[in-house]
Structure 1
Amino acid sequence: MKLQKIYLRYFPPGLAFNYTRNNNTEETKCIDVFDLTIKSDLDEIMKQLRKREPAIFTKDIQPQVHELLEKMQQKLNEPVKNKFYLYKTLQTHILPLTNVDFDRSGQKCITGSYDRTCRIWNVESGDEINILKGHENVVFSVAFNYPKCDKIVTGSFDKTAKIWSVSSGACLNTLWGHSGEIVGAEFNKNSDMICTSSMDETAILWSTETAQEINSFRKHEAEVISCHFNGIGNLLITGSFDETSMIWDIREKDPVSVLRGHDAEISNCIWNASYNQIATSSLDGTAKIWDLRDTKSPLFTMKHNDEVLDVCFNYTGKIATCSSDCMAKVWNENGELLLTLEGHNDEISKVCFSPNGSLLLTASADKTARLWHVDSDTENGLCLQVLTGHTNELFSCCFNYTGDAILTASKDNTCKLYR
């Protein structure tokens, strides 16, 4: 194997090693360094990494790895940015936006829209770099292939997904096989596979290179609205309107486990940072946490007064939920309620932590996003800022990789960039 590049991940701390094998295939190996703190002895961390992965941490790359660990340690010691200003409004879409994503560098972002396009933007200038045309219906799902971010996958209501080159904007492949709208699509960490979820009650696993179907997962009894790889890429979780989530070995046709316990449609399902727990949110007014080692019943249940529309983890194990009850809530790793965040006056459809986990971003149908302190001794639960300017409800929001920029996407056909 020949090492091509080492990617640094600040939150949660980790490294990704991109290799080319003798047959010219690429592979990315991700190494978590969750125990890194500002007080860690880096020589001791290096010793542990060499012991854990001797084939990777060879003598020739150790100086470079040590330098990257120093950068991560410095990042952990930086003050958290908690005040954002409207920097650009991205507004060439002619219909409402659906989803947004930053690339790893934070220099580019992508937007999907009901106007059947995905657009690539220069974050610094606000200029449109490329328009990805070819879908015949709504582009609902957009995602980069982390960590390389040289490709994009889009999922559409036209029942196809497409793979695009970031540099040229060319369509590299089209994934045909679903008989219903595609509502979720993502790459695995190696970028050699893609999973898609569809309203046709299935999820499908694809080869990125050949666009051929590798496996299909057909045990759900209603629409599959979410699908996500674990870190290694050998497992997949799916969430469905049939009130269940399923865990799949990507090589098998039958699920490894079926997560039963909700009484209404699943709105999202996600992995935690360590990939040993799963969170599910549901229109039954609850979210549940499941342990991968025993999925017969949830570890705990978190309750709202109305439909729970989204759920997310931060890398330290905290959980955030948001609901049609106009509230977001933050819970600890034991399912105990820490914070109730009130201030929105319409349903909250999206919730996400900042990369370091100390801030929470919420997007609402009240035309605003809000930024909250969720990890402070003195200001926990405080609304730091209301991000205004949209003229219609918000569908999506996200932080960039380093946490110093925010994107919001709205039904008003625009995306706003805050820095």
Structure 2
Amino acid sequence: MIRKNESSSTALSKRARVEDEDDTPTLTVAIGSTSSGGKPEAGALIRTVKRTSGLEAPIVSLSGAHGGEILGSRFSPDGNMIGAVSADKTISLWKTYPPHTNTALLTSIHKSAILDLQFSLIRPHLYTCSADFTVAITDITTGVRQRKYLAHDGVVNSIDRARSGGGGRELVVSGGDDGVVRCWDQDVEGKRAVIELEGNGVPTTAVCWSGDGAQVFVGGIDNEIQVYDIRKKAILYTLQGHTDTIASLAISPSSHHLLSSSFDSTVRVWDVKPFSVSPTREHRVLTGAPAGFESTLSRAAWSLDDGGRRVAVGGGDRTVTIWDVEKGNVLYKLPGHRGTVTSASFHPKEPIILTSSTDSTMLLGEIDPST
């Protein structure tokens, strides 16, 4: 079912003006109360902020669509749309750019909490996985579910997609509590997986494709990351270093590095090139983002507009931490949420970060591209 929703976006700045000699757009930001018309109340502090994106304001709050925790959010490949999934079994779609409206709320795709989502790279489709043991494919132009797979004998925690066969087809990989990893192809008749990897018998919490779609990275509650060759259905090597459950995996824009986050409160960057000079393949260990005690699968992400110079992950401290990968230092510690941050996602073209939280809200925020 698809329906319009009365949810809203709230900009922390309301009145735009151009005042620099180079005509760079700036915004007058009211730090304090604003009236219903968007003008600062008496006593509000006014300052000018230089803009770096096409957002309505440097920080925009998206709220009201979901009645439960938002467990994941992502930008569409072109950056013009946002998708979010929730513990309330719904999927919301939003416009990234002003007026930042919630365009649809899908209410009958899954029968239980939805844990992860991915936009298709080649079709107007959205892939989702759920605690109802299924993976679904939905046409986002109509809100109609195209396929639904009984994917696992347990909660499905993570999905990813990759182009296959020269780019004309797309494979989806899913991992769940049953410890099995399966690959799905909607162009193949039937509802059986086209590839099945038995795994090592422990619940899978994160899956990710390699850049060429020839390998799958799998993380679970055994703290390790297995790298599978999907043609041979065999483990090529294992990445060891985390001391607690793997929370998320993400491949870099160059496909040379893998990002992993964990309940051990570290984020690690791994060298996954075919030939690595490092015996452990561990490239960088990043700290400063406490995972918390809620055992929430918080999704980490690479920046895309700068080729992967930054990475980000949310934490149990209600903030989002952004690092410079090569320097290893924290660039930003972003507050704003009132609950554990469940995902971070970078815009594909502009210096914008999207975050979601157990507080049922999302935040869009500009970051300085020169930092």
Normalising by structure 1, we get a TM-score of 0.62
Write the letter of the residue equivalent to 1:140.
L
CA 1:160–1:234: 2 relative to 1, 3 Å: same
1:102 aligns with 2:75: yes
Give, in whole Å, the separation in 2 of the partners of 1:258 and 1:295.
15
Flag structure 1 segments of 5+ consecutive residues without an equivalent: 1-78, 304-319, 327-346
1:195 aligns with 2:168: no
Match of 1:366 among 299, 314, 317: 317
Give, in whole Å, the separation in 1 of the partners of 2:357 and 2:269.
28
CA 1:151–1:395: 2 relative to 1, 3 Å: same
CA 1:80–1:260: 2 relative to 1, 3 Å: same
CA contact (8 A) 2:131 2:156 kept: yes
1:350-377 alpha-carbon deviations (Å, 9 max, x no partner): 55443214555453333344567x4999
Match of 1:299 among 257, 262, 281: 281
CA contact (8 A) 2:178 2:201 kept: no
1:121 aligns with 2:94: yes
Give, in whole Å, the separation in 1 of the partners of 2:326 and 2:261.
26
Q: CA deviation at 1:235?
A: 1.5
Give, in whole Å, the separation in 1 of the partners of 2:242 and 2:326.
33
Match of 1:410 among 357, 364, 367: 357
CA 1:404–1:217: 2 relative to 1, 3 Å: same
Match of 1:393 in 2: 340
Q: CA deviation at 1:325?
A: 7.6
Match of 1:180 in 2: 154
1:131 aligns with 2:105: yes
CA 1:382–1:206: 2 relative to 1, 3 Å: closer
Match of 1:75 in 2: none
User: SS of the counterpart of 2:194?
Assistant: strand
Normalising by structure 2, we get a TM-score of 0.69
CA contact (8 A) 1:153 1:161 kept: yes
1:266 aligns with 2:242: no
Show the 5 A alignment for 1:3-402: 85-123=58-96, 124-132=98-106, 133-146=108-121, 148=122, 150-189=124-163, 190=167, 191-209=169-187, 210=189, 211-260=191-240, 262-283=242-263, 287=268, 289-291=270-272, 292-293=274-275, 297-300=279-282, 320=286, 323-324=289-290, 349=298, 351-355=300-304, 356=306, 357=308, 361-369=312-320, 374=324, 381=330, 383=332, 386-388=334-336, 390-402=337-349
User: SS of the counterpart of 2:142?
Assistant: coil
CA contact (8 A) 1:321 1:351 kept: no
User: SS of the counterpart of 1:105?
Assistant: coil
Q: CA deviation at 1:293?
A: 3.2
CA contact (8 A) 1:348 1:364 kept: no
CA 1:284–1:366: 2 relative to 1, 3 Å: closer
The CA RMSD over aligned residues, in Å, is 3.4
Write the letter of the residue equivalent to 1:299.
R
Match of 2:13 in 1: none
Q: CA deviation at 1:92?
A: 1.4
CA contact (8 A) 1:281 1:288 kept: no
1:362-394 alpha-carbon deviations (Å, 9 max, x no partner): 53333344567x4999xx7554x7442x33232
Give, in whole Å, the separation in 2 of the partners of 1:375 and 1:207.
34
Give, in whole Å, the separation in 1 of the partners of 2:316 and 2:214.
37
User: SS of the counterpart of 1:184?
Assistant: strand
CA contact (8 A) 2:253 2:302 kept: no
Q: CA deviation at 1:271?
A: 3.2
CA 1:193–1:322: 2 relative to 1, 3 Å: farther
Question: Which structure features the higher share of helix residues?
Answer: 1
CA 1:172–1:321: 2 relative to 1, 3 Å: farther
Give, in whole Å, the separation in 2 of the partners of 1:281 and 1:364.
10
Give, in whole Å, the separation in 2 of the partners of 1:82 and 1:387.
21
Write the letter of the residue equivalent to 1:354.
S
Write the letter of the residue equivalent to 2:140.
V
CA 1:165–1:261: 2 relative to 1, 3 Å: same
